[in-house]
Amino acid sequence: MNLLAVVGSSRKGKATDTLVDKAIEGALSKNPELKVKKIYLSDYNINYCKNCLACRDSKTKEPIALCAIRDDMDILNKDILDCDFIILSTPLHNGGVTAMLMTFFERICWTLAKPEGRYLTFYGCPTSRTDKKRKVISIITNGSVPPIYRIICDDATKLINTVTRDILNGKSLGSLYAGAIENRGVEYYFKKAYKLGMKLT
């Protein structure tokens, strides 16, 4: 079983990163055989999606359509295909995910999904290209906004849940909103992150 942890923050060793570490610890405590790969998106050269839609319109039977851009996404695509568990983490920027994580999402969107889904009367929605099921948890950090205001300030969880369901063919097992970290310190959320990690396996 492979666990892929994606850190969408540029600050290594800081709040988001440490909470992801705790979640990984939690997952390993339940299943020590787990193969863990943690990636910092800031270490990879990922270009913006050019919206050429070559991937969306691809009729390939492979689990992943080929992107027209050649860059480090080629490596990350393999990691995503191999993984069974995913931890997605991001600090909140303007109430949403970071631009870095968004760049990553845009690039996997139509490579991993095909436009054959349907909502109400509307066709052409993304649905996963494979039947492989994945389990996903998400960790959101915020420096100033406390959890009580999460409902107003957190659009990131919604986006992550959509990506999980429609693109990664994943089931979201929970998310941790670590708010007001500047006041409370990140230690306050260690236990919650550990427990969330345990849920994953």
Partner 1 sequence: MNLLAVVSSLRKGKSTDKLVDKAIEGALSKNPDINVKKIYLSDYKIGYCKNCLTCRDSKTAEPYAICTIRDDMDILVKDIHDSDLLIWGTPIHMGYIPSILMTFIERFVWLFAKPEGKHLTLTNCPTPRSNKKRKSITIITNGIVPPIYRMFCDEATHIIKETVKETLNGDNLGSLYAGAIEKRGVECYLNKAYKLGMKLV
Contact residues for partner 1, defined by CB under 8 A: 9-11, 42, 48-51, 53, 91, 93-96, 98-100, 102-103, 105-106, 109, 115, 119-120, 122, 124, 143-146, 149, 152, 155, 159, 162-163
Nearest 10 degrees: CA dihedral of 1, 169, 142, 46? Answer: 80
CB of 152 to partner 1, least distance (A): 8
Other residues' Cβ atoms within 10 Å of the Cβ of residue 95: 12
CB of 32 to partner 1, least distance (A): 33
Between 119 and 131, name the residue whose CB sits nearer to partner 1: 119
39 DSSP 8-state letter: E
- What's the chain's length in residues? 201
Coil, strand or helix at 187: helix
CB of 60 to partner 1, least distance (A): 20
CB of 58 to partner 1, least distance (A): 16
Strand arrangement of the beta sheet that strand 35-40 belongs to: 35-40, 2-7, 85-91, 134-141, 170-178
Angle, helices 190-200/15-30, rounded to nearest 10 degrees: 40
Between 93 and 132, name the residue whose CB sits nearer to partner 1: 93
